[in-house]
Every structure is written in C-alpha cells, then in structure tokens.
C-alpha cells in the first residue's frame, strides 16, 4: 500500500499514457512501439534501456504472435521485471549478517537524503528487533553531525561522533569499538559526499573502509549509494562517478514520491548493473521500503 501511494505520481503518469495508447490502437504495430518508446523515455527509463526493452518486446510479440494491444500489459510488465533483474538474480535484500555486527556504509552527495535514509533505516531495523547504532562519519559538512543526532534521538538509537573536522576513519574506529562493546547488530555509517574532489573522496572512503575491514573481516557488508530520483539523469551521472570511486553494492533511491519519472530505477539497474535495494517514498520515519521489482512494476499498472 505504501509502495503504491509513494509511486502515485509515476503510476498516474505512466499508466495513464499506456492505457491511452492501448485504447487507441487496434493492432500492435510499428507506430504502437514508437509511441511506447516515447512514453518510456519520458519516464526516465533512459535511452539505452528503452532501446533494449523495445527490441525485446518486439521479439516477444513476434514469438507469441500478439496482435491485440490489450495483451501488452502483461508483456510489458514481464519484460520490465526481466530487464530489472538483468538475467542474474542479484539480491535486492540488504546483506544483514545473521550473527555478529553488520556494518553499512552510506555514500552520496549532499541533499540527496542520506541522513534521512540512515534515520529511516535505523527505525526499520529497530522495529525488526535489531539493535542499531549510527556513526557520524560526515565530519566535513556543517550541521551533518547535529542532523544525524536529531535522527538518533527521534528513533532512539545511539550516535557515535567526534567534533566537526575530525578524521572520519577515527570516528568509524570509535563507532566499531562502541558497537562491539554494546553488542550492536547493525552499525549505519554516514560519510561525506564531496564529488568536487574525486581523488580526496576516494582516499577518504578507502581509509574508512580499511579501518572497518581491519576491525571486522568481511565488512563493510554494504556500501549503499543514495540518489535523489527527482534529479533524473543527474542521479545517473552521480552513480557512474561513485562507481568509479568505490565498490557500491546497492542503491537507495530517495524521493520517488516526488517524481513522475520512476523509470530511473530501471535505468540505473540496467546501465550500471547495481541493484536498487531501498526506496524512499516520503519524509516520514516509516517512508522507506525494500525495493521489490515485481511489486514495483505491477504497481505501476494497478
């Protein structure tokens, strides 16, 4: 239900256009595909992904000898899910260890919703019965530490911090010791997101990761890149840059409730081969959902 509500803008715009298209055509022909192509591009699915999708749809229509546009609902849905899955079944669920401390690192530029996502995920995990701690690793941006503390208080989880300007790797070291001492299940780590200086960002993230790896073999268990869905192709270019800088294991796509262009989910997965793991569907504490491709795609036509 929350998923449906959060996707309202995308659903309204996309399903309205597809409904209209299907109603106007009596036969699935070349023109039908041309119009469908435009609809997909306007939903930010991305040109490369749209081309691939249209090709696959044409093959499927030919293979099954489909003529009636009504049949295209299920064909389109199936292919959208296929493209999302990309053949290999990459898990969309978070890699949370059944035993011991799980460390999740958050990266992304300012304003995308990183702090909010950390707060929301802390709330979600706590509700699932896990003990959670936050590490204020963005020591660079003024206000970042305080903002994380506000979320910590709101959710009722401890925040490990040092003063502004201190070494993020030292914050992580402290946080890991504290998490071990208090038997914490999941440690959520904020980091600074300066893309202006790629070399510095890379060095900082590498240093942070080294400290984490040294303290807990196999950690960090996730490096989640937070992207703002309302920024469309800009989010795509941020993702490309972060992928060069560090080993991103999953995407959190925020503000999906604020855009009609939810197709960006598909473009990111298909063009970058990184699974979208969580989606932000609003500003409230419980507006974070695990991403499920079937639910998402079928929700578009519901």
| Three-state DSSP string of 92-132 | CCCCCCCCCCEEEEEECCCCCCHHHHHHHHHHHHHHCCCCE
Task: Name the residue nearer to ligand GDP (CB basis): 27 or 284.
Answer: 284
Q: Give strand pairing partners of 104.
A: 188, 222
Task: Name the residue nearer to ligand GDP (CB basis): 50 or 144.
Answer: 144
To ligand GDP, the closest distance from the beta carbon of 235 in angstroms equals 12
CB 189 within 8 A of CB 211: no
Task: Name the residue nearer to ligand GDP (CB basis): 221 or 255.
Answer: 255
Question: Is 113 marked as a binding-site residue?
Answer: yes
d(CA 4, CA 292): 12
Q: What is the CA radius of gyration of the chain?
A: 21
To ligand GDP, the closest distance from the beta carbon of 186 in angstroms equals 19
Nearest residue to the partner ligand GDP, using Cβ: 280
To ligand GDP, the closest distance from the beta carbon of 136 in angstroms equals 11
H/E segment holding residue 56: helix 47-63
Question: Is 139 marked as a binding-site residue?
Answer: no
To ligand GDP, the closest distance from the beta carbon of 58 in angstroms equals 35
Q: Read off the DSSP letter of residue 258.
A: G
List of residues contacting ligand GDP (CB under 6 A): 110-116, 254-255, 257-258, 280-283, 287
Question: Is 18 marked as a binding-site residue?
Answer: no
d(CA 286, CA 257): 13
Question: Is 64 marked as a binding-site residue?
Answer: no
Task: Name the residue nearer to ligand GDP (CB basis): 213 or 286.
Answer: 286
Question: Is 154 marked as a binding-site residue?
Answer: no
Q: Which residues are annotated as a binding site for GTP?
A: 108-115, 190-194, 254-257
């Amino acid at each position: 239900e929350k998923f449906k509500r959060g996707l309202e803008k995308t659903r309204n715009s996309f399903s309205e256009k597809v409904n209209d298209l299907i109603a106007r055509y009596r036969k699935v022909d070349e023109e039908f595909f041309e119009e469908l192509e435009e609809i997909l591009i306007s939903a930010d699915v991305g040109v490369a992904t749209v081309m691939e999708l249209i090709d696959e749809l044409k093959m499927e229509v030919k293979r099954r000898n489909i003529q009636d546009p009504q049949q295209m609902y299920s064909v389109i849905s199936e292919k959208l899910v296929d493209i999302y899955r990309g053949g290999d079944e990459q898990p969309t669920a978070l890699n949370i260890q059944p035993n011991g401390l799980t460390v999740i690192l958050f990266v992304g530029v300012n304003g995308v919703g990183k702090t909010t996502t950390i707060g929301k995920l802390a709330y979600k995990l706590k509700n699932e019965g896990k003990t959670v701690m936050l590490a204020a690793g963005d020591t660079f941006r003024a206000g970042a530490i305080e903002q994380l503390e506000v979320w910590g208080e709101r959710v009722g989880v401890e925040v490990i911090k040092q003063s502004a300007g201190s070494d993020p790797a030292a914050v992580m070291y402290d946080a890991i010791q504290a998490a071990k001492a208090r038997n914490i299940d999941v440690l959520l780590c904020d980091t600074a997101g300066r893309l202006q200086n790629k070399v510095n960002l890379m060095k900082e993230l590498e240093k942070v990761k080294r400290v984490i790896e040294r303290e807990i073999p196999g950690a960090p268990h996730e490096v989640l890149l937070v992207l703002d869905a309302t920024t469309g192709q800009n989010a795509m270019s941020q993702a490309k840059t972060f992928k060069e800088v560090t080993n991103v294991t999953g995407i959190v796509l925020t503000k999906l409730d604020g855009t009609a262009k939810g197709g960006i989910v598909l473009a990111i997965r298909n063009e970058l081969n990184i699974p979208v793991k969580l989606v932000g569907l609003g500003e409230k504490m419980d507006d974070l959902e695990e991403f499920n491709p079937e639910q998402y795609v079928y929700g578009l036509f519901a």
